[in-house]
Structure 1
Amino acid sequence: MTPSTSGTAPARAALTGSAAPCWVNLMTRDLESAQKFYGPVMGWSFRPGRLGDDFSVARRGDVPVAGIGAVATAFRVAVAWTPYFAVRDADVAASRIRERSGTVAVGPLTLGKGRGALAADRDGAGFGIWERTAPTTSPPAPDGHAHAWLRLRTRSAFDAAIFYGEVLDWASGKPGACEVSYAKDEVIVQCGGRQLARISSGAVEAAPDPLVRPHWQVNFPVDDVTLAVERAREHGGSLVEELSQPEGREATLLDPDGGLFTVTDVHRASDA
């Protein structure tokens, strides 16, 4: 569940409370199966996590890019990729979530080098919060790129922006806070001068299609979308949706355990 070994640049923001996206984590049922799938599909290698045999850290070269934890069954949650947001105080953030009709499913718990919680917003989109209590020493992503960027597909982008703004202090004017702007009916979230997330309206809470229900979509940049799709199919995954737009191509995939994720040749949220 934890981004305690996060190596992305925004992870350092936890020490200043900027509430930037700081990590992505897959909660799955079987760690070995997940590694056998994501290794060849994404070109990742894996190292054991610091929290026990059920955890590992995915790496691209020497840089940590994501966490995997075989805890979906223990936590009684669905298999899913989940983004985490850096906060100054996990207990305060958890209280804000509950006060605004969100749900805190797990935590806050002390894990590794920080404290985290797994939550859902008012429309049911799952996310995590992370209070890091020790600095990271891992290298950041190359300038202008991110290991993953995010899009929240929700019922109302405006309402969601208010919820996350109040929980995470977006657009608060506080030092280091993420800024929010509006463009083409979307909410754009910029942190430290980098555009890291978009929020789009139109999701339907009761929709049987998981792509239509409110959810945080985790987008992993790849050099070749077609190759990633082919490898996913070869290793037991399936293609859910493929889109081609002027900005680039993306494919939403389902891993063998039911985890949805997106691969894209758009390497920055600002380009999407």
Structure 2
Amino acid sequence: MPSPDITPGAPCWIDLMTSDTDKARQFYGELFGWDFQAGDQEKYGGYITATKNGKSVAGMMLKDESQAGMPDAWSTYLRSDDAAATAAAVTEHGGQVFMPPMDVPEQGVMAIFGDATGAAIGVWQPREMTGYELVAEPGTPAWHELHTKDYPTAVKFYEDVFGWDTDVMSDTPEFRYTTLGAGDAAKAGIMDASAYLPAEVPSNWQIYFAVEDADASIEKAVGLGAQVIDGPDDTPFGRLATLADPTGAMFKIVADTGQGSADPTASGDTTGA
């Protein structure tokens, strides 16, 4: 689905902080069919934009010395019309400012926060760069999901800080899940992960990439140096698997099996997903 209509508070961009941009480019280029363009080093710090069929889908950046002890990781960014106001709201509602709003010349304003449950979440206030241009097609982002150890606190945080209009998809002891938007309009999800996230693993956002064939994609990824962390599993929402790229950054893949949508809320509308 090209040119998603991204509303404030919805996911609008993803990027990878990696210890090896050359290895990342080779891996994701082969796996998802991405092309890459590096930005000006002085102006943008060599930030790399990934494109699919000429449309921007993701970014990647080499970790600096201050991030050397942190694992390689993908990040989700939510759209904000005022990053400074969002930073104030994050603090007011129990979150943390990991990186205060920073101007990216001509492109927009970015910031990194910790939500009230400890999960890192990015914010993007757009100017020229409005966000990704292609979603929910093979090799592009399909869904964004927060796995949280404090489910009620997380839901309230995103409602209060980002204005999420939430919908409870499931509320049983086995499966608690709330979405941003309802049904066909759902754009992201919050899952109660308190029963399965290890003590040493903080609450975290996870990104799903759409693929045509989960098993073929897994085989290709492993051949390129990835590891299978979980799955593949058939679900009502598609065939899912969790992988780690060659430097350890985790991501998920989802293939529509015809039993439902390719996103984990069975949403047919991937606008902003």
Q: Tell me the TM-score normalized by structure 2.
A: 0.81
1:182 is matched with which residue?
Answer: 168
Structure 2 residue runs without a partner (length 5+)? 172-176, 257-261, 268-273
Q: Report the secondary structure of 1:271's partner residue.
A: coil
Q: Does 1:271 align with 2:266?
A: yes
The 5 Å alignment of 1:1-272 reads 9-11=4-6, 13=7, 18-49=8-39, 51-52=43-44, 54-71=46-63, 73-75=65-67, 77-112=70-105, 113-134=107-128, 136=130, 139-141=133-135, 147-170=141-164, 179-185=165-171, 186-190=177-181, 194-203=185-194, 207=198, 210=201, 213-242=202-231, 243-266=233-256, 267-271=262-266
User: 1-side partners of 2:197 and 2:236: how far apart?
Assistant: 31
1:166-216 CA distance string (max 9 Å, x none): 11122xxxxxxxx21112121111289621111111336982574xx4211
Matched pairs, number: 250
Cα 1:107–1:8, aligned 2, differ >3 Å: closer, same or farther?
A: farther
Higher alpha-carbon deviation: 128-137 or 32-41: 128-137
Cα 1:206–1:137, aligned 2, differ >3 Å: closer, same or farther?
A: closer
Amino acid at match of 1:182: V
Amino acid at match of 1:195: A
Offset of 1:49 from its aligned partner? Answer: 3.1
Cα 1:261–1:208, aligned 2, differ >3 Å: closer, same or farther?
A: same
Offset of 1:247 from its aligned partner? Answer: 2.6
1:3-23 CA distance string (max 9 Å, x none): xxxx85244x3xxxx211101
Q: Which runs of 4+ in 1 moved over 6 A?
A: none
2:117–2:153 contact (8 Å) kept in structure 1: no
User: 1-side partners of 2:180 and 2:140: how far apart?
Assistant: 14
User: 2-side partners of 1:46 and 1:117: how far apart?
Assistant: 23
Structure 1 residue runs without a partner (length 5+)? 1-6, 171-178
2:57–2:134 contact (8 Å) kept in structure 1: no
Give the fraction of aligned pairs with identical amino acids, expressed as a percent: 28
Offset of 1:106 from its aligned partner? Answer: 1.4
1:197–1:269 contact (8 Å) kept in structure 2: no
Q: CA RMSD, aligned part only?
A: 2.8
